[in-house]
Amino acid sequence: MTTAKKTEGHFKEDLDQARRHIAQLEQRLAEQKIIEAQLRQNEERYRNFMENVSDECYETDLRGNITYINEIAARRSGYRRDDLIGKNNRDYTSPEEAKRTYKIFHEIYRTGTPAILTDYKLLTRDGQFRFVETSVSLIRDSAGNPTGFRGISRDLTGRRQDQTNLERYRDFMENIADGCFENDLRGTITYTNEVGARRLGLTKEEFVGMNLREFTSPGEAQRIIKFFNEIYRSGKPAFIDECELYRKDGQSLFVEMSAALIYDAQGKPVGFRGTTRDVSEKKKARKELERYRDFMETIADGCYENDLRGTITYANEIAARRIGYSREEFVGMNNRDFMTPGEARRINAIFNDVYKTGKPTFIDATEVLHKDGHTVFIEQSAAVIRDEKGNIAGFRGTTRDITERKKIQDALKESEKNYRLLIENNPAGILIYSPAGRIIMANKRALEDLETTEDRLVGKLASLTDLKLFRPDGKPLPQNEHPVMKAIIGNAPVNDVVIGVSSLQRENIVWLVVNAEPQWDEAGRLSRVIASFFNVTRRIKAEAALKSSEAKYRFLTEKMTDIVWTVDRNLNFTYVSPSIEKALGYPPEAFARLRAEDILTEESFRQVMELIVVELARNREPSPEADRFVAFETTYRHQNGSMVWFHNVASAIRDEQGVITGFHGVSRNVSDQKQAAAEREELIAELKQALAEVKTLSGMLPICAHCKKIRDDQGYWNQMETYITKHSEALFSHCICPDCATKIYPDYLPGPKK
């Protein structure tokens, strides 16, 4: 019994102890749940931080394999996050960078001290390098043993690029041949590179702080200030050429300048920056070049250059035009493009001889093909072009069209029998001269142009005919300047000589363009000279008339007071002539920005709008009048507030489909006429009033033939003075005429007594 009770007591004690143990376990479990909840909360906070910061977060094991990386780091590398987990740092950097990184990570592992890697170069998925700055520290387990690395990286690619660009820009600005400058709005230099100061003979320290008025003339300073003001007004960069500056030693320096505005952080203009380039030598060279270019472009001969392959590298306008091409088309063509294969081989052989000997040559006849397919004959010269080292780089020469001359020569060579027929039917006037200068033949056209007969010419010396010859300036033509005499003496062709001719049958002058072509026999002796000419009187008169017309047009356009204008369908001005400023006080640019309703009176604006409606309605008719115009008057407001009257003539502007796109017209200021008309009406009214008050005499007046009395309407006879005074405003002053005085007072007057 005792034993049983004892055993039961032990069970109760064990049970209580078990209950206490269970309670302790439950308490520990509750505490563990609280700790786990806190851990989950901390882990969530940690994850949110890692995933939402702008920096890149990562973890690796001790071998450098990625065990964690946040989303932004993955995105910047170009990979998905899952693709990066497990990758080694050697997979996304260069071998050299991997070696450098290993040394740094190994030092962190050895010392346990965190470190910062600057300019860590990573390779993105698309093969581009980016630069980061990363802080690295060890990861340890609960026992304190190193298990990996973690770090935070910041992308420096943009900053590094900015720094690289800044260094590049600085190096560029200090090493280019152009001057670079910055100045404030007053024109004071705030920055310059070395070459900008050195050009003026100054140091950078001397140049900075100077005002542009200190190194240029007052007039040039005003021009440059106007240039900067225009940039300030428009906000657009601009360019100005040939600014004259003064060096420290007083010598002139010519530069071309580009400039643009400098803005502060708030977008407010604070100055200008730009570049300058020394064009002093270029200015001199350009003057020389212009002289040569003017010569090359105005002479009657063609000028060309080609390379060693025969490709045209330069040609003046006439050289290209002679064979039907524009200059742009001709340059770049090879001689094979406008010659037959046989002719191209012949010319190439001649040019090869020039190349070998280095001596210029003359080619009397070259057959070339015109763009439209017909043949043109030219004579040309050729000489070598040498480069700076003296090596032959190509050829240059001149060309002259001898197509007509060649035709005549070939015709004469082909058949002497037929040459007279050719000459007689030639559109040019032709005279054939003997070697002594006597005329041996004249074709019909020559006789017609010279208005003479064959017997007055044939057998005569060129200088002894009854024709008077003149230079282009109107002075008599000396014998030694006659084209035929020059051809005989020079034994060479004379081309395109302008001569005036006057015969006994007329006084007016006929103007001719004369070519004199000497011909030789088989022995090389001069056999004859063929002079051909064209009557260019009409052309010369037309040119003179054109010059006169141009002078009149220039005078009219410069002196005209009428206003030429165009508007669109909304009455916005698209053009207005400069005379608007004199008429309404507005510069053309300012006037073009005004609206029609701003400058027209209400009545005039209404009238114009009604006209537009009518014209647009007419345009919709089946057959609108394309050349229709309307005349109307409008009243404008002058810039000073006064009213100005205009008479306008306008017509529609149409596009290719005939649709009205706007209107153009001419306006004339009729304010003076308006005022004169008003004054005239006022004067007429005054005159009418005055005439109404004036007594007039009219009709037949009965007057006595003896005493000169006048009978009035009542039959009474009145003295003439009384009648006229009564019926008019006239008053009489009595005196004695000389005849009556002689009769009445003969004794009182001087002179002989009767």
Q: Which of 607, 603, 606, 629 is nearest to 618 (CA)?
A: 629
The pLDDT of residue 211: 93
Question: Which residue did the predictor score with more confidence, 744 or 516?
Answer: 516
Task: Write the DSSP symbol of residue 3.
Answer: H
pLDDT above 90 coverage of the chain, percent:
18
On whether the 418-542 domain is CATH 3.40.50.740, my answer is no
**Looking at the domain covering 299-401, what would its CATH class be?**
alpha beta
Alpha-carbon torsion angle 154, 157, 158, 162, nearest 10 = 120
Q: Which long-range contacts (C-beta less than 8 Å, at least 24 apart) are formed by 631-637?
A: 632/607, 632/608, 633/670, 634/600, 634/601, 634/604, 634/607, 634/608, 634/667, 635/600, 635/601, 635/603, 635/604, 636/584, 636/599, 636/600, 636/601, 636/604, 637/584, 637/598, 637/599, 637/600, 637/601
Question: Which residue did the predictor score with more confidence, 173 or 101?
Answer: 101
The pLDDT of residue 675: 82
Taking only the tens place, the pLDDT of each residue in 379-394 is 999 999 998 888 999 9
Reply yes or no on whether the pLDDT at 738 is more than 90.
Answer: no
Residue found by looking up tokens 């803005």 in the block = 263
Question: Which residue did the predictor score with more confidence, 164 or 267?
Answer: 267
The pLDDT of residue 160: 64
Mean pLDDT across 428-442: 84
- Cα first-last separation, the chain: 220
Mean pLDDT across 709-736: 72
Flag the least confident range among 197-206, 500-509, 596-605: 500-509
Residue found by looking up tokens 């019909």 in the block = 444
Confidence of residue 429 (pLDDT cuts 50, 70, 90): confident
* CB distance 200 to 181 below 8 Å: no
On whether the 560-674 domain is CATH 3.40.50.970, my answer is no
The pLDDT of residue 293: 64
pLDDT above 70 coverage of the chain, percent:
81
Taking only the tens place, the pLDDT of each residue in 326-345 is 989 999 999 899 999 999 99
The pLDDT of residue 689: 67
Among 23-37, 183-197, 490-504, 560-574, the range of highest mean pLDDT? 183-197
Taking only the tens place, the pLDDT of each residue in 642-681 is 899 998 888 888 888 778 888 888 888 888 888 887 778 8
Question: Which residue did the predictor score with more confidence, 625 or 532?
Answer: 532
Reply yes or no on whether the pLDDT at 56 is more than 60.
Answer: yes
The pLDDT of residue 24: 75
Cα–Cα distances in Å, from 225 out to 189, 196, 221, 222, 504? 13, 19, 6, 5, 68
Mean pLDDT across 20-28: 74
Taking only the tens place, the pLDDT of each residue in 150-174 is 888 877 766 666 555 555 555 555 6
The pLDDT of residue 184: 94
CATH of 176-284, one of 3.40.50.740, 3.40.50.1820, 3.30.450.20, 2.60.40.10: 3.30.450.20
The pLDDT of residue 272: 93
Cα–Cα distances in Å, from 269 out to 184, 209, 236, 262, 401? 9, 19, 12, 6, 62
The pLDDT of residue 186: 92
The pLDDT of residue 236: 92
The pLDDT of residue 241: 80
Residue 411 and residue 406: Cα distance in Å, rounded?
8
Mean pLDDT of the chain: 81
Edge-first strand order for the sheet with 494-502 is 439-442, 429-433, 526-535, 510-520, 494-502, 468-470
Taking only the tens place, the pLDDT of each residue in 358-411 is 999 988 889 999 999 899 999 999 999 998 888 999 999 889 888 888 777 776
The pLDDT of residue 291: 62
Confidence of residue 630 (pLDDT cuts 50, 70, 90): confident
The pLDDT of residue 713: 73
> 137, exposed or middle or buried, with CB in 10 Å at 0-12, 13-18, 19+?
middle
The pLDDT of residue 228: 92
Reply yes or no on whether the pLDDT at 289 is more than 80.
Answer: no
Residue 174 and residue 195: Cα distance in Å, rounded?
8
Question: Over the range 535-545, which residues count as b (16 or more CB within 10 Å of their CB) and which as e?
Answer: bebeebeeeee
Alpha-carbon torsion angle 11, 16, 22, 23, nearest 10 = 170
Q: Name the token pair of 338.
A: 């406008």
Residue found by looking up tokens 């440059």 in the block = 224
Confidence of residue 77 (pLDDT cuts 50, 70, 90): confident
Taking only the tens place, the pLDDT of each residue in 230-244 is 999 999 999 888 888
Mean pLDDT across 454-467: 74
Confidence of residue 41 (pLDDT cuts 50, 70, 90): low
The pLDDT of residue 446: 79
Mean pLDDT across 54-64: 85
**Looking at the domain covering 53-161, what would its CATH class be?**
alpha beta
- pTM across the whole model: 0.28
Question: Which residue did the predictor score with more confidence, 557 or 130?
Answer: 130
